Amino acid sequence: MITIESLTKRYGGYTAVDQVTFSAAPGRVTGFLGPNGAGKSTTMRIMVGLTPASSGTATVLGRHYADLPNPGREVGVLLDASAQHAGRTGREILTVAARTIGVPKDRVDEMLARVSLTEEEAGRRVRNYSLGMRQRLGIATALIGDPEVLILDEPANGLDPAGIRWMRDLLRGFADEGGTVLLSSHLLHEIEVIADDIVVIGNGRIVAEGSKDDLLASAGTLVRSDDPVALAAALTAAGITTHTGGDGALRAEADAAAVGRTAFAAGVPVTELRAADGAGLEEIFLELTAETQREGAAA
């Protein structure tokens, strides 16, 4: 369990994290989603005691990270896969981690197998690792203490498609066994396929949070017609809010049945009608974070 309450971080006059409150529950994968610079890494660094908060609290398993008796046994952390000692081999890094937190040495081989790093790769120095290999080693280090909680900043960065699938299965399995997973990403699709719960941050503030299913349901209905102007007018007249997509489709804030009936009553033929799902979530994400997108509302 991770609990964040009214967390604020100021750098001089700039507020990077602004009154952030959310929690990540056991048995669930919580996705922490937001555009570049939204405050994800800062929030995660505060969680693990690397950055002091200006105000508010962040606790893991009911305590501040620094107060956990042996944090490595309770919380697995991967914030920056490139921050590993470049001159050591992967095996050495895991061996040091195992000794530091007091787990048996045979966990090293177990973890190497778990993240699919070969014997030969484990003997190479980390400076010669690809980004994906560093991520795998970082995951192995996070898991070596058999923790209850995982805090991972952009863990899929640099992984190939098979690696992303592997990561997804690994985190799913971890949560299914009762673990708490918090992972950040600025990639919506990545979060959408893996997360049970989603927390969206923009400009240091939480702009949406809830179960993925609820967020997807709130994405509404995607509807298409040869006459989108007439369709939009009919829906608006019926009190249904619509948003125009780039490709002529409309996203309506109502369920498919209501949208279909309204179009039928108005005599506007519909050529496509379905739950907006992923496309809708992407639009919601862009709308919610529009102020903070470098590309502005045009994105």
41 lines the binding site for ligand ATP (CB under 6 A): yes
Contacts 24+ apart (CB under 8 A), 112-121: 112/140, 114/140, 114/143, 114/170, 115/139, 115/140, 115/143, 116/166, 117/90, 121/90
The single residue among 3, 10, 19, 37 that binds ligand ATP, judged by CB under 6 A, is: 37
Scan for tokens 């929690």, then name that residue: 23
What CA–CA distance (Å, rounded) separates 249 from 165? 31
Site residues for ligand ATP, 175-194, by CB under 6 A, read: 186
H or E element: which one contains 217? helix 212-217
111 lines the binding site for ligand ATP (CB under 6 A): no
Question: Taking the complex as a whole, how short is the minimal distance between the CB of residue 22 and ligand ATP, in angstroms?
Answer: 14
Q: At what angle do helices 131-143 and 106-114 cross, to 10 degrees?
A: 130
Nearer to ligand ATP, 47 or 268 (CB): 47
Nearer to ligand ATP, 28 or 40 (CB): 40
Choices 35-43, 133-141, 168-176, 275-283 (CB under 6 A): range interacting with ligand ATP: 35-43
Can you say whether residue 7 is alpha, beta or left, with left for phi > 0 and alpha for psi between -120 and 50 degrees? Answer: beta
Question: Taking the complex as a whole, how short is the minimal distance between the CB of residue 173 and ligand ATP, in angstroms?
Answer: 26
The single residue among 34, 72, 76, 90 that binds ligand ATP, judged by CB under 6 A, is: 34
Choices 36-44, 83-91, 97-105, 286-294 (CB under 6 A): range interacting with ligand ATP: 36-44
What CA–CA distance (Å, rounded) separates 32 from 44? 10
Could you tell me where the DSSP H helices lie in 36-89? 40-47, 71-74
Nearer to ligand ATP, 46 or 240 (CB): 46
| Number of chain residues interacting with ligand ATP (CB under 6 A) | 11
What CA–CA distance (Å, rounded) separates 257 from 253? 12
Report the amino acid identity of residue 295: E
38 lines the binding site for ligand ATP (CB under 6 A): yes
Among the listed residues 229, 216, 159, the one whose alpha carbon sits nearest the alpha carbon of residue 188: 216
Nearer to ligand ATP, 36 or 267 (CB): 36
x/- contact string, 129-158, with ligand ATP (CB under 6 A)? ------------------------------
Nearer to ligand ATP, 79 or 98 (CB): 79
What CA–CA distance (Å, rounded) separates 150 from 134? 17
The single residue among 28, 40, 91, 251 that binds ligand ATP, judged by CB under 6 A, is: 40
39 lines the binding site for ligand ATP (CB under 6 A): yes
In the complex, the residues that contact ligand ATP under the rule CB under 6 A are 11, 16, 34, 36-42, 186
